Amino acid sequence: MAKNDLIGGSLWEQYSAKVSERMNDPRYRGEISEAEAKALGAKLVVADWGAESCGDAVRLYWAVDPKTDRILLAKFKSFGCGTAIASSDVMAELSVGKTVDEALKITNIEVEHKLRDNDETPAIPPQKMHCSVMAYDVIKKAASLYKNVDMASLAEEEIVCECARVSLRTIKDVIRINDLKTVEEITQYTKAGAFCKSCLRPGGHEKRNFYLVDILRDTRAEMEKEKISALAEPRDFEAMNLIQKHRAIENVLDEKIRPALAADGGSMEVVDIREADGAIIVYIRYLGACKGCISSTKGTLQFIENMLHKELAQNIKVLPV
């Protein structure tokens, strides 16, 4: 039977091959037992998150090293559509090798990009983006359980849309991360406002503390102010102060290097950054599978240094400690 016989061809084509692959054969689906976590010397974290409005739900398992706060193993179980399964699978993969705080920086757009067949074509239609937002939220839940704090201390959990259970923090983050410009886009990405519509703007059947039109206006205004401030900072790596250089290096590590290491169960962290004799020396410590690997002093080290040269400056030297 042809695809067009199963579903409208144009809609079917909005899903990437990677979404289909992850949906049919998830790499990280399963669970982690207490015994498995204990064998790794790790603390087991089990977090549940779901959306009552669409019935999707995900359970995330982390085995976290309590000495380093690093996620050694991640698994998930998901009830819901194929996009929810694919997004949860990527979310689990991206968290492996990161510290809990680093995992909190994983965004729904990072999950969606990981599912793309190419950089230019979205992996899923906009109305399914709420599935990757759910993966983003379950990470916050897992982090709050590990840290033994209220989730509200990690995110602003004022609920804006009661129907879809979408928080103020999530809406602000989604606007920023995805550069949203309309209320309709917020609804497509989060499902906020898709049901009773009281949260869209004042005048609905139920009064709300926050409305999407106001959140969008205020968040866009904040983004414009930050953009103006960012333009004032030096873009040339050589012109940056040491703190700015440190931030730029960490950005490259997060975007270009750590994901590649995590794919093989490893990671790394910056121990120190110093300036000496016209060079920037970055002292790193390998973590996970990278620790003790023979390639860590050869191929992996060269990969890290070459990437920093390409993205920032040729005078960067990387030394493992």
Query: Which sequence positions are flagged as catalytic?
Result: 54, 131
Query: Of the candidates 201, 49, 194, which has an alpha carbon nearest to the alpha carbon of residue 127?
Result: 194
Local structure of 233: helix, strand or coil: coil
Strands 159-161 and 70-79: unpaired
Q: Report the 10 Å Cβ neighbour count for 107.
A: 20
At residue 283, the 3 state secondary structure works out as strand
Distance CA 26, CA 19 (A): 10
Residues 6+ apart with CB under 8 A from 264: 289, 290
Task: DSSP letter for 119, please.
Answer: T
Q: Which of 248, 249, 253, 178 is nearest to 216 (CA)?
A: 178
Whether 82 contacts 19, CB under 8 Å? yes
